[in-house]
Amino acid sequence: MTDYTQLLGEVRQQTLERLAQQDDAWLACEFTLLDGALVNHHWAWFHVFEDELSHRGQMLLIRRHLLPRS
């Protein structure tokens, strides 16, 4: 689990660095999903964050209830 959380930390850092290069206009920029839906980066990142929070909750449950305490 430690390797996985370390990898998540590294990816998070890269994500923050790349997002710091974007401006508000980029958030409003629209693109089309494979299903034909028209969305913008703000919409997409909201869903990325929502998914991340869900998985972090799952990892917390695993650490608290399934893994031995060190």
pLDDT tens, position by position, 9-66: 999 999 999 999 999 999 999 999 999 999 999 999 999 999 988 888 888 888 888 8
Q: What is the pTM of this model?
A: 0.68
Does the residue 27 lie in any domain?
A: yes
Does the residue 70 lie in any domain?
A: no
User: Which residues span the domain enclosing 28?
Assistant: 2-65
Does the residue 9 lie in any domain?
A: yes
Does the residue 17 lie in any domain?
A: yes
Whole-number pLDDT of residue 66: 80
Does 70 have pLDDT greater than 80?
no
Backbone phi and psi for residue 37, each to the nearest 5 degrees, phi listed first: -70, 135
Whole-number pLDDT of residue 3: 84
Number of domains in the chain: 1
**Rounded-to-integer distance, Cα 55 and Cα 5, Å:** 12
